[in-house]
C-alpha cells in the first residue's frame, strides 16, 4: 500500500482482515496475521489520546473516528490524558469500568505505564500502543515507525549537507520515552561513526516548545556558527525553532553561507509549508493516518481473538518480536523540497 491512499487503504484492511481470519497459526501469513481462537465478534474498543498540544497528535485524533467508521470498530467515547501518565492511568481505569474490551493508548512516559499494563493483562484486556513502545508490560501490538531510522535519516541528511564538519543542535524529546531515546541514540551514534567532524549539542526538551526555544537560543548565542538543527518533533518544536531562527536572521536560502539546515520528524502540513518556503529543509513523515488505521485494525483483531506473527505485511511494513509483544513498524519517508508536494503523503491530505 502506498502511504496515505485512502481507497487502497480500505481495500487493504478488508483483505488483511480476511487473511488474518483464514491464516494458519503455524507462521506468518502474507499480512502477518494468523488465526488464534475463533473470532468472538468484536467488542468495545477504548482509546486514549495522549495530548492536544501537538499538531501531529491533533491530526491523529482527527483520523481516528474516520478509520473507526471505515473498519466498523465499536469505539467508545475517547479520553485525553494531556501528556500526564497519572491521567492516562485514571482514564484507563474509567474506560475499563465502562466495559472496554480492548484499550488503545499512546503512553508518553513509556516506563511509568507498566503497572497499568500488568493490571489490564490480569483482566485479559489487550492493549494496542500507538507510536510509543512501553518498556515493560504486555502489549498485543505496538503500532509505530522505526524511530531509530528517524535519527539515522536526520544524521545522514545533516552530515551530508554540512560536508561532515561543523556544529548541530539536537532538540530531543523526553528521554523517558522510548521514542526520544531511540531518535537521540541513533542520531548520536550515526554522527560519531559517520561524521566525527560534527559537534552535536544535545538538548532534552521533554517535548516542550518553550524549552526548545530557550535551549536553541542559548546555544546559538554561545555558538553562532551552528549550521544544523534536528528537531525530534515538528508538532511541538517547529514554531519555536522558526521563531528563534527568524529573530537571529538565520532563515536564509540553502546556498547562503549563513543558512542553518533544519530537519524534523512528524510530517505535519505546517512542516511541509515550511519546506516549500525554504524555512526548513526536510522532515521524516510519521504516518498519522496509518497510526490511526492500524491501531484500530489491531484493536478490532484483538477483540475478535486473532493473533499475529513476526514477518512482512501487505502494507509495506514489518512486524517484529518484542520482549513484551509485537510491533508493526510502519513506513516513514524522508520529505524534502523534491517530494514535498507528493499527494500520497498524509500531510498533503489534511483538510
Q: What is the pLDDT of residues 155-167, one digit of tens each?
A: 999 999 999 999 9
Strand pairing class (102-105; 45-49): parallel
Contact 205, 240 (CB under 8 A): no
Per-residue pLDDT at 43: 79
Beta bridge partners of 308: 33
DSSP 315: T
Instruction: Give the 3-state secondary structure of residue 281.
Output: coil
Contact 293, 313 (CB under 8 A): no
| Max Cα-Cα span within the chain | 64
Q: Which residues of 250-282 are buried (b: 16+ CB within 10 A; e: fewer)?
A: bbeeeeeeebbbbbbbbbbbbbbebbeeebbbb
For the chain, list the domains and their CATH numbers.
147-285 (3.40.50.2300)
Contact 157, 263 (CB under 8 A): yes
Q: Which residues contact 217 (CB under 8 A, 6 or more apart)?
A: 244, 247
Per-residue pLDDT at 351: 67
Per-residue pLDDT at 42: 58
What residue ranges of the chain have pLDDT lower than 50?
Answer: 1-41
Q: What are phi and psi of 24, to 5 degrees?
A: -90, 145
Terminal Cα distance for the chain, rounded: 22
pTM of structure: 0.79
Distance CA 253, CA 116 (A): 49
Radius of gyration, alpha carbons of the chain: 20
Amino acid at each position: 500500500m502506498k502511504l496515505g491512499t485512502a481507497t487502497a487503504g480500505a481495500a487493504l484492511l478488508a483483505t488483511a482482515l480476511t487473511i488474518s481470519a483464514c491464516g494458519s497459526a503455524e507462521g506468518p501469513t502474507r499480512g502477518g496475521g494468523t488465526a488464534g481462537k475463533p473470532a468472538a465478534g468484536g467488542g468495545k474498543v477504548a482509546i486514549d489520546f495522549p495530548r492536544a498540544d501537538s499538531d501531529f497528535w491533533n491530526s491523529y485524533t482527527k483520523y481516528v473516528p474516520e478509520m473507526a467508521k471505515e473498519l466498523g470498530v465499536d469505539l467508545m467515547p475517547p479520553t485525553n490524558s494531556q501528556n500526564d501518565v497519572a491521567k492516562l492511568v485514571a482514564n484507563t481505569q474509567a474506560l475499563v469500568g465502562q466495559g472496554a474490551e480492548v484499550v488503545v493508548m499512546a503512553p508518553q512516559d513509556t516506563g511509568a505505564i507498566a503497572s497499568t499494563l500488568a493490571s489490564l493483562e490480569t483482566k485479559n484486556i489487550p492493549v494496542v500502543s500507538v507510536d510509543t513502545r512501553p518498556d515493560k508490560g504486555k502489549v498485543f501490538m505496538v503500532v509505530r515507525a522505526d524511530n531509530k531510522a528517524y535519527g539515522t535519516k536526520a544524521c545522514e541528511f545533516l552530515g551530508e549537507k554540512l560536508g561532515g564538519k561543523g556544529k548541530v543542535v539536537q532538540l530531543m524529546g523526553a528521554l523517558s520515552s522510548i521514542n526520544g531515546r531511540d531518535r537521540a541514540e541513533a542520531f548520536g551514534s550515526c554522527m560519531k561513526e559517520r561524521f566525527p567532524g560534527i559537534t552535536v549539542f544535545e538538548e532534552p526538551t521533554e517535548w516542550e516548545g518553550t524549552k526548545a526555544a530557550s535551549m536553541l537560543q542559548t546555544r546559538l548565542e554561545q555558538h553562532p556558527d551552528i549550521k544544523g538543527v534536528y528537531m525530534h518533533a515538528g508538532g511541538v518544536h517547529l514554531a519555536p525553532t522558526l521563531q528563534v531562527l527568524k529573530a537571529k536572521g538565520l532563515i536564509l536560502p540553502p546556498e547562503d553561507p549563513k543558512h542553518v539546515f533544519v530537519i524534523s520528524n512528524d510530517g505535519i502540513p505546517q512542516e511541509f509549508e515550511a519546506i516549500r518556503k525554504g524555512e526548513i529543509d526536510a522532515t521524516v513523515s510519521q504516518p498519522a493516518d496509518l497510526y490511526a488505521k492500524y491501531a484500530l485494525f489491531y484493536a478490532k483483531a484483538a477483540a475478535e481473538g486473532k493473533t499475529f506473527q513476526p514477518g512482512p505485511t501487505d502494507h509495506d511494513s514489518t512486524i517484529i518480536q518484542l520482549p513484551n509483544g509485537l510491533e508493526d513498524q510502519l513506513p516513514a519517508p524522508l520529505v524534502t523540497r523534491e517530494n514535498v508536494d507528493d499527494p500520497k503523503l498524509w500531510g498533503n491530505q489534511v483538510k
